[in-house]
Chains A and B, each alone.
Chain A
Amino acid sequence: DIQMTQSPSSLSAAVGDRVTITCQASQDISNFLNWYQQKPGKAPKLLIFDASNLETGVPSRFSGSGSGTDFTFTISSLQPEDIATYYCQQYDNVPPWTFGQGTKVEIK
């Protein structure tokens, strides 16, 4: 099965900072990658699908890029409401759905 390595596991940044999270797949997954945001006590919320497509209603400060094995998730200007844990998730023609380990984003 494909493994997803997400880093860092946590980060602290100031409001307005640019934040970058990476996810690496153990083999080529094309662009079959989603990014989720999870706030405490809530279900994960889809932000980016197919590696780089912004879900409807999600602020444009969120973006995703990459294909093959290396992917990046960026918050261009961190806002207080972005405090959450972010997960990448790989998928294929059939399950499984594999999640990265998560990145906890905090305000400095």
Chain B
Amino acid sequence: QLQLQESGPGLVKPSETLSLTCTVSGGSISSSSYYWGWIRQPPGKGLEWIGSIYYTGRTYYNPSLKSRVTISVDTSKNQFSLKLNSVTAADTAVYYCARHRRLGYCSGGSCYSWGQGTLVTVSS
């Protein structure tokens, strides 16, 4: 059964870089059927897509965050990672990693999966 697990510091200082890793188990990140992505949710607010990556390294970013975001993939470790630089209190959120279908390559609900999420607080 596929599992995604976020890991990384729960507290980051303002102006520093937030770094998270998503470890995928029970399936290969090198599949042509999926995109892998990051979504965040500030306390009491809605879901915001941060960006996604294909196993080849092709990336897609939310335009509102693009200047500060880097997503990378390590197929040898079955992991993908998020870096968000120059963070402020507004970046405080629960960060989720997720798998999403790639149209034409996967169908059905099993194409989708989310990690449990990790709270990252930006504070000095």
CB–CB A101/B112 < 8 A: no
Mostly helix, strand, loop or mixed at chain A's interface?
A: loop
- By a CB distance below 8 angstroms, the chain A residues around B111 are 49
CA distance A99 to B100 in the complex (A): 14
CB–CB B109/A56 < 8 A: yes
Complex: chain B residue closest to A36, CB-CB: B47
Q: With A49-B112, A92-B103, A93-B103 in contact, is A99–B49 under 8 Å at CB?
A: yes
CB–CB A1/B63 < 8 A: yes
Interface size class for chain B?
A: 20 to 34
Complex: chain A residue closest to B59, CB-CB: A95
Q: Which chain B residues numbered 50 to 66 have a C-beta less than 8 Å away from chain A?
A: 51-52, 60, 62-63
CB–CB A97/B112 < 8 A: no
Q: Which chain A residues numbered 67 to 107 have a C-beta less than 8 Å away from chain B?
A: 87, 89, 91-102
CB–CB B116/A97 < 8 A: no
Q: Which chain B residues numbered 83 to 124 have a C-beta less than 8 Å away from chain A?
A: 96, 100-101, 103-104, 107-112, 114-117
Q: Is B80 an interface residue (CB 8 A)?
A: no
CB–CB B103/A34 < 8 A: no
| Residue of B52, B107, B109, B115 touching A97 (CB-CB under 8 A) | B52
Q: With A94-B60, A95-B37, A97-B37 in contact, is A44–B52 under 8 Å at CB?
A: no
Binary per-residue interface labels of chain A (20-48) against chain B in the complex, 1 for a CB within 8 Å, 0 otherwise: 00000000000010100010001110100
- By a CB distance below 8 angstroms, the chain B residues around A55 are 109
Q: List 9 A-B contacts (CB under 8 A).
A: A42-B116, A43-B116, A53-B108, A87-B47, A91-B100, A95-B49, A97-B100, A98-B49, A99-B39
